[in-house]
Amino acid sequence: MRTINITNEKKRDAQVCMEALKKPSSIKRVLENGEDYLNIKVLKQNLALAFETLSNHYADLKEMGQSIIENDPEIDMEITGRFIQKTYRLWMTAENEIAYRVNFVEAVCGPDGSEKERRELKKKQANIKTEDAVKWTGQSFPIEEALRNFVFCKAYQLYHTSGLTYDFLYDMAKQLHKTKSLMRLGAGKNGKEQLCFSEGGEKYHGFLEGRTDGDKYCLILHLTNMELKATGKGGGA
């Protein structure tokens, strides 16, 4: 269960739950006989059987190719074809050994794609559950205008865990539903920072949408990292 610390218009804060909105696909993939298919991972080979490793044991590719035809050294009958249940990502050195210490760098490229600068990569800190709660900035946009100006890529639904947080979120949803607008949210002490949900993660602009139906409510946090801007007199994105 993920949580976010958020303030309302009166600058009162509360920690509430959030979950990603997942829209089920209307397309279903099946086998030729109509049965559901099962997506599985199968092990092809390990590092000891990889091309780079095998090539070190032969004088040239011709000798290696002949050995593959006659002896199948790239296949281990004990492991090839095994089902894989869980995998982990590892960083490897040029010698195909596990790298235990990795320093990340950020490459700055020009418009033509050429590299201009390299610098140490600074990891962004998560800021949605800090002492400085995510702020209700007071900067609102009509829904139609927001849809024209921003490309929304993710959405989370906020929900309550108690009667107090129900009232807290319902009032926010009611106000946004009444004005048919999206409220921009900001992080940090002054509410001017973008939202970062995990350490080293992407930063997003957050906009809150609210809907109500009687005593029911729906509060959705929309995220975007792309703004559409007009270019020239003819407009465009």
Domain 2-22+125-227, architecture per CATH: Beta Barrel (2.40)
For the segment 197-215, the average pLDDT, to the nearest whole number, is 92
pLDDT at residue 95 tops 90: no
Separation between Cα atoms, residue 225 and residue 207, nearest integer Å: 11
For the segment 77-105, the average pLDDT, to the nearest whole number, is 85
pLDDT at residue 35 tops 70: yes
pLDDT at residue 233 tops 60: no
pLDDT at residue 182 tops 50: yes
Which band of pLDDT confidence, cut at 50, 70 and 90, is reported for residue 122?
confident
pLDDT at residue 177 tops 70: yes
Smallest CA-to-CA distance from 132 within 183, 182, 184, 192 is with 192
For the segment 133-161, the average pLDDT, to the nearest whole number, is 93
Burial (Cβ within 10 Å: 0-12, 13-18, ≥19) of residue 168: buried
Tell me the HSE value of 94 on the side-chain side, using a 13 A CA sphere: 0
Give the residue with greater pLDDT, 234 vs 35.
35
Cβ neighbours around 151 below 10 Å, total: 11
- pLDDT for 237: 42
Q: The tokens 């539903």 sit on which residue?
A: 177
Residue 130 CA from chain centroid, whole number:
20
- pLDDT for 231: 58
Smallest CA-to-CA distance from 219 within 174, 158, 166 is with 158
Whether the pTM exceeds 0.85: the reply is: no
Q: In a 3-state reduction of DSSP, which class is residue 76?
A: coil
- pLDDT for 232: 54
- Cross-strand pairs, 207: 184, 222
- pLDDT for 230: 64
Lowest mean pLDDT among 29-33, 140-144, 163-167: 29-33
Give the residue with greater pLDDT, 93 vs 233.
93
Residue 169 CA from chain centroid, whole number:
25
Domain locations along the chain: 2-22+125-227, 44-80
Mean residue pLDDT across the chain: 88
Beta-strand ranges (E) seen in 51-104 are: 83-84
Separation between Cα atoms, residue 215 and residue 169, nearest integer Å: 12
